[in-house]
Chain A
Amino acid sequence: MNENQANVLVVTLVTIINLLLAFFISGIVIWSLGEDPWFALETMLYGAFGYDEGLGYTLYYTTNFIFTGLAFAVGFHCGLFNIGAEGQAYIGGLGVGLICLWLEDWSLWIVFPLAVLTSIVAGGIWGAIPGYFKAKRGSHEVVTTIMFNFIASVIMVNLLSHVLRPPKEMSPESREFAEGVWIPQMHEIFNWFGLEITQTPLNGTFIFSILCLFLVWRLIWFTSWGYEMRTVGINESAAVYAGISVSRNIIIAMAVCGGLAGFVGINEIMGSSHRIMLNFQAGIGFTGIAVSLIGRNHPFGIMLAALLFGILYQGGAELSFEVQAIDRHLVVLIQGLVILFAGALENLFRPQVEQYVKQIVRR
């Protein structure tokens, strides 16, 4: 076993131990409420995987988390802490929605690439502006991206309440797009091959998200720009010495982050709700941070962590539905414990695990 493999082993073990601990404590809480924790776990897993509808919803949530997880990871490799995926997804979704409203009579084959492009541009601009402030003025991206989340929210509230809302409608949302520009739902795609599955919001965007995982992996580790970006992230002075432009890399990295976050709009607006809605991105951007950190900022890890959060969202909803004594706030508690242990306290058992792995390696 070489050093690299040992590292992977340590990371995997630490993550698994932390997750088990989070679930153990959740179990104690459920048990203290007078419910059977094993039954709760079973319900949750069955709800998330046990039948095709549950799986559909799980993967639908997963799709969102893949995008925002990647949006955080790209920035992280460039030494940036992008908290703005929330706002970037919001503005990206606005771009997607406007394209769909504008070109709703066109063919999906033209509208889809245009929508992807618009979400990259809209989300990208929303990421690049804080990137510019960071690069040229030194404003910290944690502060500016949070502020940009608020600005995005105010813009959307005003647009949806006063401009895009059809008269006589109560909810602040736009009208529905024509059916021609909806991304095919997964059950329709399966139908093309003669397979029958239950209808869920899961749509073709899921396939696109897997493609994005692959592209980001190639981008970070197999292109010269990825190399430059990681150099900036690890050691800025060394990057400058090597002739790499720090400010250029920061701005581009933030723009890529924003573009990736913007794809949430494709899944939500074009793939699922088919209208621009208030707060469609609620919490997805912030969960993306946890997804990326738990997934060690690697696309493969992000895929697994996004799936984990998909399970928590869908399985958690099922749990509060099946066991009426468990309400929706308990589900938030379980999610919080996972973030606490696997994200914030990730190094709790690291020394012991490293010690243990070292012993194995020596043997």
Chain B
Amino acid sequence: MKKLLSTLLLAGVVLWSASQAMAFKPAVVFDMGGKFDKSFNEGIWNGLEKFRKESGIKYREFEVQQEAQREQFLRKLAKRGSDPIIAVGFGQAAALSKVAKEFPNTRFSIIDMVVDLPNVQSIIFKEHEGSFLVGALAALKSGTGKVGFVGGMDIPLIHKFACGYVQGVKYINSNTTVFQKMTGTTPAAWSDPARGAELAKTMFDSGADIVYAAAGSTGLGVLQAAADNKKLSIGVDSNQNYIQPGSVLTSMLKRVDVAAYEVFKTAHDGSWKPGFKILGLAEDGVGWALDEHNAKLVTSAMKSKVEQVRKDILSGAIKVHDYMSDNKCPVQ
């Protein structure tokens, strides 16, 4: 009898896991920007496409167009048995915390925001660490002792980029001046390249020779202005060195594509875990880009110095302050 029971139990487990494997139905809800925003959403789309090509598993997707649709379609996907479900962007946090409570057996991942629930994985990045590195490189490269920062929307997240950058600059040379400007206070600030170019131009005119853009597609204007004025720029999120070869000093990499890919992959092989997933230098979630387009701009001395800084951050010798921990920045 005992044997029969355990056999049945085993068969049950095997069947259950088989059905789980067969029913692997991943899904993603993109935010307002849409999956082809040349920035954040598109980075995630790239990661998911990589998974689809490798595994041959299709995923469901939805692009939000109305506020109410976030909750509606997160719920609809969960109801249809999609699992795991990725919610893209901080805007979906309120909707996700509602829906995740209703479907405790569905696995959710949210990127760039924290939702503290037992079935939600919150993926956030240590943008301040990556920004520290590019700040250090900017200070090493600058000939005028003045560098700039152009942010997108004026939110704590972007101040986190700015604060890490300033810390990196001041670490190398505390006399360097950093000009800081935010593009705007609404989501429109993510997609205003003309304004980005204007802000960068003002900084170049005031003597800056390197400007770091953390501003979505607004940053493309910054890169363009740097190329036009024979100055340097620093890209963000994905490797943007190729966009204006020879005038992009480096790019602060934020690997949302890897993060999104990992969600599907770990959920597929069963190693997906809820809770916080904080991706920093140690996890290769952030970093700086060196390729053939900027190789001439970075001397080997600069490179070894930045690598040294990287190691010091990893070992804890350098502590990079996170703006969002207290909404303050120790240096300006």
The answer on a CB contact under 8 Å between A280 and B67 is yes
A302-338 CB contacts (< 8 Å) to partner B: 313, 317, 320-321, 324, 327-328, 331
The answer on a CB contact under 8 Å between B69 and A172 is no
Which residue on A lies nearest to B71, using beta carbons? A201
Which of B58-66, B203-211, B217-225, B293-301 sits within the interface? Answer: B58-66
Given known A-B contacts A162-B185, A170-B155, A321-B76, A328 and B65 have beta carbons under 8 A apart: yes
A259-312 CB contacts (< 8 Å) to partner B: 272-273, 277-278, 280, 282
- Residues on A with C-beta less than 8 A from B16 are none
Given known A-B contacts A320-B63, A324-B61, A171 and B69 have beta carbons under 8 A apart: no
Task: Find A171's partner among B62, B90, B154 (CB 8 Å cutoff).
Answer: B90
Given known A-B contacts A170-B113, A171-B90, A317-B69, A324 and B60 have beta carbons under 8 A apart: yes
The answer on a CB contact under 8 Å between A60 and B68 is yes
Task: Find B324's partner among A168, A278, A327, A331 (CB 8 Å cutoff).
Answer: A168
Return the CB mask of A158-181 against B: 1 if under 8 Å, else 0. 100110000110111000000000
- Residues on B with C-beta less than 8 A from A67 are none
- Residues on B with C-beta less than 8 A from A278 are 186-187
- Residues on A with C-beta less than 8 A from B76 are 321
Q: Does B271 contact A (CB under 8 A)?
A: no
The answer on a CB contact under 8 Å between B62 and A321 is yes
- Residues on A with C-beta less than 8 A from B63 are 320, 327-328
Q: Does B104 contact A (CB under 8 A)?
A: no
- Compute how far the CA of A52 lies from the CA of B113 in the bound complex, rounded to whole angstroms: 32
Which residue on A lies nearest to B30, using beta carbons? A328
Task: Find A157's partner among B60, B71, B72, B185 (CB 8 Å cutoff).
Answer: B185
Given known A-B contacts A60-B68, A161-B154, A328-B34, A168 and B327 have beta carbons under 8 A apart: yes
Which residue on B lies nearest to A171, using beta carbons? B91
- Compute how far the CA of A321 lies from the CA of B61 in the bound complex, rounded to whole angstroms: 7
Q: Does A341 contact B (CB under 8 A)?
A: no
Q: In the complex, how many residue pairs between chain A and chain B have their CB atoms under 8 Å apart?
A: 54
Q: Does A57 contact B (CB under 8 A)?
A: yes
- Compute how far the CA of A172 lies from the CA of B76 in the bound complex, rounded to whole angstroms: 26
Given known A-B contacts A60-B68, A317-B69, A320-B62, A168 and B156 have beta carbons under 8 A apart: yes
A223-266 CB contacts (< 8 Å) to partner B: none
- Compute how far the CA of A171 lies from the CA of B112 in the bound complex, rounded to whole angstroms: 12
Q: Does B73 contact A (CB under 8 A)?
A: yes
- Compute how far the CA of A263 lies from the CA of B327 in the bound complex, rounded to whole angstroms: 37
Q: Does B157 contact A (CB under 8 A)?
A: yes
Number of chain A interface residues as a range: 20 to 34
- Residues on B with C-beta less than 8 A from A321 are 60, 62, 73, 76
Return the CB mask of A28-65 against B: 1 if under 8 Å, else 0. 00000000000000000000000000000100100000
- Residues on B with C-beta less than 8 A from A313 are 66
Task: Find B185's partner among A172, A320, A331 (CB 8 Å cutoff).
Answer: A172
The answer on a CB contact under 8 Å between A272 and B68 is yes
- Compute how far the CA of A60 lies from the CA of B69 in the bound complex, rounded to whole angstroms: 12
- Compute how far the CA of A241 lies from the CA of B66 in the bound complex, rounded to whole angstroms: 49
- Residues on A with C-beta less than 8 A from B113 are 170
- Compute how far the CA of A171 lies from the CA of B95 in the bound complex, rounded to whole angstroms: 13
The answer on a CB contact under 8 Å between B73 and A170 is no
Q: B306 to chain A: closest CB distance in Å?
A: 30
Task: Find A57's partner among B62, B72, B185, B186 (CB 8 Å cutoff).
Answer: B72
- Residues on B with C-beta less than 8 A from A328 are 34, 63, 65
- Residues on B with C-beta less than 8 A from A277 are 67
Return the CB mask of B107-140 against A: 1 if under 8 Å, else 0. 0000001000000000000000000000000000
Chain B CB within 10 A, most for which of A158, A277, A313, A317: A317
- Compute how far the CA of A328 lies from the CA of B61 in the bound complex, rounded to whole angstroms: 11
- Compute how far the CA of A313 lies from the CA of B64 in the bound complex, rounded to whole angstroms: 12
Q: List 30 A-B contacts (CB under 8 A).
A: A157-B186, A158-B185, A161-B154, A161-B185, A161-B186, A168-B156, A168-B324, A170-B90, A170-B113, A170-B157, A171-B90, A171-B155, A172-B186, A200-B72, A273-B67, A273-B68, A277-B67, A278-B187, A280-B67, A282-B66, A317-B65, A317-B66, A317-B73, A321-B60, A321-B62, A324-B60, A324-B61, A327-B63, A328-B65, A331-B65
A binding-site residues for B, Cβ under 8 Å: 57, 60, 157-158, 161-162, 167-168, 170-172, 200-201, 272-273, 277-278, 280, 282, 313, 317, 320-321, 324, 327-328, 331
